[in-house]
Chains A and B, each alone.
Chain A
Amino acid sequence: MDSRIWQHPIIDFGERKGREIYFNFNGKPIKAYEGETIAAALYASGVRVFGRSIRFQRPRGWFCAIGKCSSCLMKVDGIPNVRTCITLVKDGMNVEYQDPRPNLPEKTEFECEHVKVETDIAVIGGGPAGLSAILSLNELGVDSLIIDENPWLGGQLIKQTHKFFGSKASYAGIRGIKIAEILLGELRKENVKSLENSSVIACYREGKGFKITAVKGHSTLYEIDAKGLLVATGAMENMLAFPNNDLPGVCGAGGVQTLMNVYGVKPGENALMVGAGNVGLIVAYQLAQAGVNVKMIVEAAPKIGGYLVHAAKVRRMGIPILTRHSIKAAIGKDHVEGAVITKLDENWNPIEGTEFEVEVDLICLAVGLTPSTEILMQIGCEHAYVPELGGHVAIHDKFLKTTLDNVYLAGDVSGIEEASTAMMEGKIAAATAAIDMGVNVEKAENLRKKSLHELELLRSSPFSKRVITGKEKVYSLMEEISCG
């Protein structure tokens, strides 16, 4: 079986894929292409079960595809607990199922490179927020470095094949993948320092500054001393509670988008989309584009949450959207074989007798995101639970300063929003960092003023009401704290 996509209306995967290589999976050779992750290559060849859970030995597939959920852990070249969704496959690599509680690795020889780096501002996360932050820092003459744990910079942009909405300054009308290309092109032109495929695993306060550690491919340890941090780690997709929600084949919509649009692998044959917000609508459309039969979109709310243009596109493709409906259970033994759908009453409770089954091998969850705020928590920024922003967020002001000196944030980590606003926040946070450091202050102030104005315009649509309410909550908490 090979479920790689070669024909696609927007992406030329033929051009994207590297050299054909072979790796061993449980001793059997499997074909892959350079540039694919282990998980993508396995999925393309029909593997759905990646591991088993510790307590009940339940099958585990992949869920997020960007290294955030750890449901894809396998033993790679003798090393257990490798996140196969962000580890690039190599010729001759040995990949095996691991025991849920792995044995002590037999290997004792260990070659680790320890690299020390110094920089003024370390930008953690290379999505739209982090990228525009580092470009602004660079433009303002602040020495900086960007770190991302995925094989490629670009965050969620590199999988968004649709044209963006928003204002001109935020690349409206351009496809997400093109925006990533533009930003990455600038990055390369400017020779910005970057570390890809490197996970920031810890953050320490040292003296007046910070020490962060990042690991690359289990063999390189970066010890990075920075005067300030700009955290742009994005968000993680939400899970929904229903029986069998852990079956392989239940995936985050963004995870599915990654598999399909970054690695060119068809995620399934028949799909159910849960959630009719923008993410659900867009990914449903893109699934259909990739030749997947999207049976329906179910939405618990009485009306569609996303933009009507997206809903109309989906409907034109003949995909029904069922409001006031939700998933009640997933069906299947080792992976998804179907789903039970139920109608909901006004109080969002299932109405008995309205259940019906759909036969699908893929259930996509597009039920919101939660800010990936671990690093900010670890370093000691004060947090608050703000439902309008997606969960716990570090308290910050409108200049994107946190409660800790020289720690800034931008993008989804500061509250779930959009790539367009993430880019503006990246610029504002970068300008604030420059101002605080006293570098190029006048230019930075201009940039900040302009970007704050742009951000305000982006947030002027009625869709931004919720975010604005959330943001105002954190701004006032910040004020309370800074006034003691």
Chain B
Amino acid sequence: MIKEKAEVVIVGGGIVGCSIAYNLAIRGVDVVLFERSYLASGATGRCGGGIRQQWSTEENIRLAMESVKIFEGLEEELDYHIEYYQGGYLVLAHTEDEVKQFKKNVSLQRKLGLNVRFLEADEINDIVPHLDVEAIGAIGATWCPTDGHANPFKTTIAYARAAEKHGAHIYKFTEVKGIKVEKGEIKEVITDKGKTKTKIVVNAAGAYSREIAKMVGVELPNKPYRHEILATEPLKHVLDPMVISFHDNVYFRQTEHGEVVGGWGDPNEPSSYNIESSFHFIVQMSRLLSRYVPKFRHVNIVRQWAGLYDVTPDARPILGPVEEVEGFIQANGFSGHGFMVAPMVAKLIAELIVEGKTSLPIESLNLKRFREGRVIKEASVVG
């Protein structure tokens, strides 16, 4: 049977929910997490695992930089191998407009202390030798060597195990069906396996967060979008960084095991909860990959799958409390880049719950911003 009472209930066992559970548990909070399927079954287990600090808005850059600091010590902190690898991120520019924007990004990023620089076209092959720079029409790139990637399954499991070690209760295959609210205050969380009394609920249900919010009468602007991705057979290590192009909406990297994992965002994808794989994707993606790296032409694809981006109107997450319901904390709307910022976001959410204040300001990421029209769109996304 599930626990009768908890100080905090987290909905969702992805990277965000599990890392928050850990951060609360080490602060001595009595926390329960519900996941309706297995851990990392949502976007997390389906994601590219990329960790990038090269963003265009200050919050995102700071969040990502702080996360990287945590990632650097995470294997030790959680005592688990998460395949963290700082192979860098190569962000390709294909147009003069992109070059202009990227140079602007680089100067903001450098101002915030990031080790990043702009590369001319002829410098790109020094970083990724097999890339066909001419064929893909890249005229420049930005390069940050401390970006990287990790295994999203292992990172989630690492957080969950450590959270449990510190007293968190994690219930898998347990679906949240409703949340009881009285006079604007949370009373209990109702699941298909029983009820848990609590005053605080963290909504970390990824693309399903808006459904959770509906349970308490809160409207979130988030929309789900399918994103497809594939993995090749394992190869000897040939690729250090994650390579990404916003122009072609494509990214790829090589895992520790040796597979090349990469995705392409279809600009015509309608919003839906569909996560079936398509033939269209595999054709587009293989064409792109073999154009980017001609030597990929004879490499076999062994798997393809899809997951949901949880997209907000400004492509930035929604963090913190809401006005209508006390104790209803948002940690969602990551718009396709929630894995990389989760370690820091989790710390901030735990600080907010335990101390009532955060070590980095998250005010500007509150749900309010959409109502007040304070929206600055993040430009550096694979949409």
Residue in B closest to A223 when the chains form the complex, CB atoms: B279
User: B223-243, CB under 8 A of A: which get 1 and which 0?
Assistant: 000000000011110100000
Contact: B297 with A107, CB < 8 Å? yes
B132 to chain A, nearest CB (A): 9
Is A101's beta carbon under 8 Å from chain B?
Answer: yes
When distances are taken between beta carbons in the complex, the residues of chain B under 8 Å from A102 are: 233, 235-236
In A166-223, the 8 Å CB interface with B consists of 202, 204-206, 211, 213, 218, 223
Residue in A closest to B258 when the chains form the complex, CB atoms: A101
When distances are taken between beta carbons in the complex, the residues of chain A under 8 Å from B300 are: 81
Contact: A78 with B235, CB < 8 Å? no
CA distance A103 to B239 in the complex (A): 12
CA distance A54 to B299 in the complex (A): 17
* Complex partner residue of B299 from A99, A104, A223, CB under 8 angstroms: A104
Is A79's beta carbon under 8 Å from chain B?
Answer: yes
Contacts A79-B298, A106-B295, A110-B298; is A101 near B234 (CB within 8 Å)?
yes
B301 to chain A, nearest CB (A): 8
Contact: A213 with B295, CB < 8 Å? no
* Complex partner residue of B297 from A110, A204, A206, CB under 8 angstroms: A110
Is A105's beta carbon under 8 Å from chain B?
Answer: yes
A69 to chain B, nearest CB (A): 15
Contact: A206 with B234, CB < 8 Å? no
* Complex partner residue of A211 from B279, B294, B304, CB under 8 angstroms: B279
Contact: A104 with B304, CB < 8 Å? no
When distances are taken between beta carbons in the complex, the residues of chain B under 8 Å from A380 are: 276
Residue in B closest to A100 when the chains form the complex, CB atoms: B234
When distances are taken between beta carbons in the complex, the residues of chain A under 8 Å from B277 are: 202, 204
In A109-131, the 8 Å CB interface with B consists of 109-110
Contact: A202 with B304, CB < 8 Å? yes
Question: Chain A interface residue count: which class?
Answer: 20 to 34
A105 to chain B, nearest CB (A): 4
User: B288-322, CB under 8 A of A: which get 1 and which 0?
Assistant: 00100011111110001000000000000000000
* Complex partner residue of B278 from A54, A109, A204, CB under 8 angstroms: A204
When distances are taken between beta carbons in the complex, the residues of chain B under 8 Å from A103 are: 235-236, 238
Contacts A204-B278, A211-B279; is A81 near B295 (CB within 8 Å)?
no
A423 to chain B, nearest CB (A): 32
CA distance A107 to B296 in the complex (A): 9
B326 to chain A, nearest CB (A): 40
Contact: A206 with B279, CB < 8 Å? yes
When distances are taken between beta carbons in the complex, the residues of chain A under 8 Å from B138 are: none
Contact: A105 with B279, CB < 8 Å? no
* Complex partner residue of A213 from B236, B238, B279, B294, CB under 8 angstroms: B279
Is A354's beta carbon under 8 Å from chain B?
Answer: no
Residue in B closest to A204 when the chains form the complex, CB atoms: B279
Residue in A closest to B276 when the chains form the complex, CB atoms: A205
User: A48-82, CB under 8 A of B: which get 1 and which 0?
Assistant: 00000010000000000000000000000011110
Contacts A102-B236, A104-B235; is A204 near B298 (CB within 8 Å)?
no
CA distance A101 to B276 in the complex (A): 30
Q: Is the interface of A mostly helix, strand, loop or mixed?
A: loop
CA distance A101 to B304 in the complex (A): 20
Is B5's beta carbon under 8 Å from chain A?
Answer: no
When distances are taken between beta carbons in the complex, the residues of chain B under 8 Å from A104 are: 130, 235-236, 238, 295-296, 299
Is B39's beta carbon under 8 Å from chain A?
Answer: no
Q: Is the interface of B mostly helix, strand, loop or mixed?
A: loop
User: B250-288, CB under 8 A of A: which get 1 and which 0?
Assistant: 000000001000000000000000001111001000000
Is A347's beta carbon under 8 Å from chain B?
Answer: no
CA distance A54 to B279 in the complex (A): 30
User: B74-104, CB under 8 A of A: which get 1 and which 0?
Assistant: 0000000000000000000000000000000
When distances are taken between beta carbons in the complex, the residues of chain A under 8 Å from B297 are: 105, 107-110
Residue in A closest to B303 when the chains form the complex, CB atoms: A202
A409 to chain B, nearest CB (A): 20
CA distance A469 to B102 in the complex (A): 66
B58 to chain A, nearest CB (A): 39
Question: Chain B interface residue count: which class?
Answer: 20 to 34
A404 to chain B, nearest CB (A): 12
Contacts A104-B238, A110-B297; is A81 near B233 (CB within 8 Å)?
yes
A73 to chain B, nearest CB (A): 9
User: B118-138, CB under 8 A of A: which get 1 and which 0?
Assistant: 000000000000100000000
CA distance A104 to B282 in the complex (A): 20
Contacts A202-B279, A223-B279; is A108 near B236 (CB within 8 Å)?
no
CA distance A480 to B195 in the complex (A): 28
Residue in A closest to B298 when the chains form the complex, CB atoms: A105
Residue in B closest to A225 when the chains form the complex, CB atoms: B279
CA distance A78 to B299 in the complex (A): 11
Contact: A202 with B282, CB < 8 Å? yes
In A80-106, the 8 Å CB interface with B consists of 80-81, 99, 101-106
CA distance A107 to B300 in the complex (A): 13
Residue in B closest to A114 when the chains form the complex, CB atoms: B283
CA distance A102 to B260 in the complex (A): 13
CA distance A202 to B302 in the complex (A): 10
When distances are taken between beta carbons in the complex, the residues of chain B under 8 Å from A107 are: 295, 297-298
CA distance A444 to B304 in the complex (A): 38
Contact: A99 with B236, CB < 8 Å? yes
When distances are taken between beta carbons in the complex, the residues of chain A under 8 Å from B130 are: 104
A112 to chain B, nearest CB (A): 9
Contact: A78 with B298, CB < 8 Å? yes
Residue in A closest to B277 when the chains form the complex, CB atoms: A204
CA distance A83 to B296 in the complex (A): 19
Residue in A closest to B301 when the chains form the complex, CB atoms: A201
When distances are taken between beta carbons in the complex, the residues of chain B under 8 Å from A110 are: 290, 297-298
CA distance A211 to B279 in the complex (A): 8
A464 to chain B, nearest CB (A): 36
CA distance A16 to B92 in the complex (A): 57
Contact: A101 with B235, CB < 8 Å? yes
A56 to chain B, nearest CB (A): 14
When distances are taken between beta carbons in the complex, the residues of chain A under 8 Å from B304 are: 202
Residue in B closest to A213 when the chains form the complex, CB atoms: B279
Pick from A102, A104, A109, A202 the residue with the most CB of B within 10 Å. A104
A326 to chain B, nearest CB (A): 34
When distances are taken between beta carbons in the complex, the residues of chain B under 8 Å from A108 are: 294-295, 297
Residue in A closest to B239 when the chains form the complex, CB atoms: A104
A178 to chain B, nearest CB (A): 37
When distances are taken between beta carbons in the complex, the residues of chain A under 8 Å from B299 are: 104-105
B201 to chain A, nearest CB (A): 32
* Complex partner residue of B236 from A101, A204, A218, CB under 8 angstroms: A101
Residue in B closest to A79 when the chains form the complex, CB atoms: B298
CA distance A101 to B298 in the complex (A): 15
* Complex partner residue of A54 from B234, B276, B296, CB under 8 angstroms: B234
Residue in A closest to B297 when the chains form the complex, CB atoms: A110
Q: Apart from A105-B299, A223-B279, what 15 extra A-B contacts exist at CB < 8 Å?
A: A54-B234, A78-B298, A79-B298, A80-B298, A81-B233, A101-B258, A102-B235, A103-B236, A105-B295, A106-B295, A107-B295, A110-B298, A204-B278, A204-B279, A205-B276
Give 3 nearest A-B pairs by CB, closest first: A105-B298, A108-B294, A110-B297
Q: Name 22 A/B residue pairs within 8 A (Cβ), A-sorted.
A: A54-B234, A81-B233, A99-B236, A101-B234, A102-B236, A104-B235, A104-B295, A104-B296, A104-B299, A105-B295, A105-B299, A106-B295, A107-B297, A107-B298, A110-B290, A110-B298, A202-B277, A204-B276, A206-B279, A213-B279, A223-B279, A380-B276
Interface on B for A, CB 8 Å cutoff? Answer: 130, 233-236, 238, 258, 276-279, 282, 290, 294-300, 304
